[in-house]
Structure 1
Amino acid sequence: MTASREVTASVLPLRPLRPHRDDVLIAAAGLVGGVVLWAAGVFTQEARLWNGAWVLVPVAVTAAMELVRRTAPRTALVVGTFALVLDQFTRGSLATVVMFTDLAYAAVLYGSPAAARRIPRVMGLLTVVSTAGFLGWLRTPESLLIGVAVGIVGFAPAATGALVRNHRDAAETARLRTRQVALLAEIDRSQAVTAERARMARELHDMVANHLSAIAIHSTAALSLDDARTTRDALTVIRENSVEGLAEMRRLIGILRDSGGGDPEPAAAPSLRSLDALLAQAGTNGASSGLEFTLDDRRPGGRELPAPVELAAYRIVQESLTNALKHAAPGRVFVGLGVEPADTGEELTVRVDSPYGDRPGPRAPGSGAGLVGMRERVALLDGVFTSGPVTDDDGHTIWRVRAQLPVGEERDGR
């Protein structure tokens, strides 16, 4: 309840306690005009119950209400109505009538929404009733002029206030809608920039980390082992990974500089057809660490998968091989691919098993960004990703990475 009150207080503008400068000028002009009309002997009626200076009392009361026409519009209209009634017992002043019309206008324009709806209806009903009443009482055509006067004094300014308020509210709504559209556009732009930066970070990590990990491991081996053959082999691997890593970096820079493409993924993105070359490179990089790499591809022959799915699967295998090169114990690294039925059609299953445990020789440090990137890639395709140590059928502990990537609805005839 407290929170609701705080929100309401922050949304609704507080009315100023001091009269507005324009209201002071209106009140002063009305009061001076009433005094001038009284001094000049200009009245709206013949002699009444109270004559003489009594006509200035309704003028002064109505002028005082002009000071609060914005801050307390309903009170100003009620008191102004009593002043107008009081004016009927004097000789009458045009200044009182004019200021009352302004109070009726201000009550609709600055009052509450409920008052803005009710006041024109009440004024319109009063105009109709007074016209019919005086017409039935006096039974003369001139009695219609009384109804017209009531309409001019009460209904016309109230209706004008309602029109002005509607236009003002419509303009404010349009301004708010424009601000909201601008805010949503800024949010969308920020989200798009964040998503693009995350995509570029994943691409950069997956393309370069494999080569840099091999360079780090083999350079450490070359520095720690005083053997010419080992050093030469290590330098050969380092050179190959440096050249390939530089080519990957150039490709990524070319993609970033190309502003004419609208595809979410580059056209030259690697696919699963390149897995043989990827595993061959991993075999070369991991030979000194006692790692062997095997591929079991059980996808249907000639089956083409969506480009985002193939790219995600390739990057998952690539990052898993990089992690195996960094952390896996000597042994066999298994890569398995297959297309299996799922609840919504079919899904591509990617599995990478690597030996889990302590390993001799140099190791490359890990940042943990690889697993995060793989998980993000799978999440973008609404897939399922798991990773962690498990026990295989032979009772050995292995590190398993498994990703299930939806590939679309199953079609007959395949």
Structure 2
Amino acid sequence: MAGWRGRTADVALVPAVGLVAVTGLVVQSRGIDTAAEWAALLTVLLSTGALYVRRRHPVPVGVVALVAIGAYGALLHRPGPIMLVFVVALYTVVDEGYLAVAIGLGLASVIAFAVADSYNRSPNTMNGATLLHAGWLVAVIVGVTRNRRAYLAEAQARAVVAEQRMEEEARRRATEERLRIARELHDVLGHHLSLINVQASAALHRPDPVRSEQALTAIKQTSKETLSELRATLGALRQAPTVVPAPGLNRLGDLIRTAAGPELKIRTELAETRSLPPEVDLAVYRIVQEALTNVARHARATTAVVRVRPDHDDVLVEVEDDGTGQPDSPGSGILGMRERARALGGSLTTGAQPDGGFRVSARLPMRPDPAPVGEQM
């Protein structure tokens, strides 16, 4: 819009200058009667019309205006209001950065002005009008040059600020991506390796062929899922497309079947939930995954309950167990779950239950409001 306003002002200035110049000519000549006066009028109109293209061709228009001054003075033997046309042309030449050309045009116009003014001057009078004209042109050139330098300095400062903001935005996005990939790697490796460890321990401590076969089968399936999710996560680092979709509610059943075992029964209470945005869907899966990892690693529980249900514009995720063990202090798993919730504008609470066991509860908005990187930590 600023460009259009500037262009409109440039165009509107031309008829205003032409009107002043023509009116000045009529007043100065007390009418248009002679052939010289008609020729001077044509000179004013032609030079004024050239101002329409002064932004695209500043130097040629400046030369045309200078020639018009000389022609006007030669025709009427005196300087006149056509000088206003030249001032506008000279202003444009300076504003477009042609300072040396502007100085040359200004000196030439002073000479033309002095020649035209000399026709009606007696030998004893000083050429004050010429000096006034010269001072006017110097003021125009100096003033416009100073303004142009200030404008260029401001534009350069804005460009530097814009570049800094782009760099900061790039660093912010890189930090967010590193945090996301770190969380993904922690959740994938932590969960699956914990399950593999639990199954392997069960097989070693209870050398029952049937249970050993079940444990080895579970280890095989878990390691397969680990490799699949690890490839998908590392594919993001290589910026390569992955054929493995991000997990969500649709894979919650597989997750629970993998986490459950002979010594841990997991019950699910899943209320019907409308389609979730991909980032919320993934967060629900990862929070349940990490909570079940902690159950297997710390809780020494026999049963666990996973609940997912909508609550107005939020989705609630709860994982409870009946175990007696719990982490002494929040580890990276709990911190990672909390970061996931906060990154979407949600919240997560954890703690022991009054009747025993441990509870993880997350509230995630179905329309996530991402938090700044600093708040995610």
Q: Does 1:177 align with 2:150?
A: no
Residue in structure 2 matched with residue 383 of structure 1 by the alignment: 346
Would the aligned equivalents of 1:356 and 1:389 in 2 still touch at CA under 8 Å? no
Would the aligned equivalents of 1:326 and 1:366 in 2 still touch at CA under 8 Å? no
Q: How does 1:57-72 map to 2 (within 5 A)?
A: none
Q: Does 1:166 align with 2:129?
A: no
CA distance in 2, matches of 1:141, 1:294: 115
Q: Does 1:278 align with 2:247?
A: no
Q: 2:337 aligns with which of 374, 381, 385?
A: 374
One-letter amino acid of the structure 2 residue matched with residue 174 of structure 1? A
Residue in structure 2 matched with residue 357 of structure 1 by the alignment: 324
CA distance in 2, matches of 1:372, 1:142: 95
One-letter amino acid of the structure 1 residue matched with residue 131 of structure 2? A
CA distance in 1, matches of 2:133, 2:367: 71
Residue in structure 2 matched with residue 196 of structure 1 by the alignment: 177
Would the aligned equivalents of 2:267 and 2:304 in 1 still touch at CA under 8 Å? yes
- Quickly say closer, same or farther: Cα 1:260–1:252, change in 2 above 3 A: closer
CA distance in 1, matches of 2:125, 2:293: 99
- TM-score w.r.t. length of structure 1: 0.53
Per-residue CA deviation, residues 327-364 of structure 1 (Å, 9 max, x unaligned), is 112231111111122xxxx21111111234239xxx9x
CA distance in 2, matches of 1:366, 1:251: 31
Would the aligned equivalents of 2:341 and 2:347 in 1 still touch at CA under 8 Å? yes
Would the aligned equivalents of 2:295 and 2:301 in 1 still touch at CA under 8 Å? no
Residue in structure 1 matched with residue 310 of structure 2 by the alignment: 339
Residue in structure 1 matched with residue 357 of structure 2 by the alignment: 398
Q: How does 1:189-268 map to 2 (within 5 A)?
A: 189-223=170-204, 225=205, 227=207, 229=209, 231-259=212-240, 268=245
CA distance in 2, matches of 1:336, 1:143: 103
One-letter amino acid of the structure 2 residue matched with residue 403 of structure 1? A
CA distance in 2, matches of 1:270, 1:142: 99
- Quickly say closer, same or farther: Cα 1:241–1:156, change in 2 above 3 A: same
Per-residue CA deviation, residues 286-330 of structure 1 (Å, 9 max, x unaligned), is x3xx32211011225xx3233322221111111111111111122
Residue in structure 2 matched with residue 75 of structure 1 by the alignment: none
- Quickly say closer, same or farther: Cα 1:142–1:163, change in 2 above 3 A: farther
One-letter amino acid of the structure 1 residue matched with residue 127 of structure 2? L
- Quickly say closer, same or farther: Cα 1:212–1:356, change in 2 above 3 A: same
Q: Secondary structure at the match of 1:177?
A: helix
- TM-score w.r.t. length of structure 2: 0.57
* Uncovered stretches (5+) of structure 2, i.e. residues with no partner: 1-120, 369-377
CA distance in 1, matches of 2:306, 2:190: 19
CA distance in 2, matches of 1:197, 1:406: 23
Instruction: Tell me how many residue pairs correspond in the alignment.
Output: 247
* Uncovered stretches (5+) of structure 1, i.e. residues with no partner: 1-138, 410-414
Give aligned-pair identity as a percent. 33
Would the aligned equivalents of 1:208 and 1:248 in 2 still touch at CA under 8 Å? no
Residue in structure 2 matched with residue 314 of structure 1 by the alignment: 285
Residue in structure 2 matched with residue 298 of structure 1 by the alignment: 271
- Quickly say closer, same or farther: Cα 1:151–1:282, change in 2 above 3 A: same
Residue in structure 2 matched with residue 40 of structure 1 by the alignment: none
One-letter amino acid of the structure 1 residue matched with residue 338 of structure 2? R
